[in-house]
Amino acid sequence: MKSLKLNLMVLGAAMLIFGLASESFAQTRYYRGYRYNHPTERRVERGIRSGQLTRGEVRDIRNQERDIRRERRAYLSDGRLSPGERRDLRHDERRLNRTIQRDTHDRDRRYYRRW
C-alpha cells in the first residue's frame, strides 16, 4: 500500500515537472519541418495595453496574421512545405514583424477597447 502511494506521488510529481517544462517550449511550433514563433500576439496585446496601437493598426495586423495562417494551411494541404513555400511564409512573417514594429513606434496613440 505504501509503495503504491509512493509510486503515485512520484508519477504525479514527474507529470507536474514535465508539464511545467513543456510550457516553456510552448512558443515554438513545428509544422512538418517548418518552425515559427508566435510572439506577435503578445506584442500586439502589449501595444494595445500601452496605447501605442490604434484600432485600425490592430485590425490591419490581425488581418495580416489571418492571411498568413490561411496561406500556411493552403501550403500544408499537400502534406509538406517546399523550400519556396517556406521562404514565402518567412517573408510574410518578417513583413508582419516590421509592420508591428513600425506601428508601435509611430506617434499614433490609443486603442480604446469597448467592454
Kindly report the pTM of this predicted structure: 0.61
Among candidate residues 76, 57, 62, 65, the one with its CA nearest the CA of residue 37: 65
- Rounded to whole angstroms, the Cα distance separating 39 from 91 reads 16
Tens-digit pLDDT profile for residues 84-112 = 999 999 999 999 999 999 998 887 776 55
Sketch the domain layout of the chain as residue ranges: 2-105
Question: For position 8, what pLDDT does the model report?
Answer: 80
- Rounded to whole angstroms, the Cα distance separating 64 from 19 reads 32
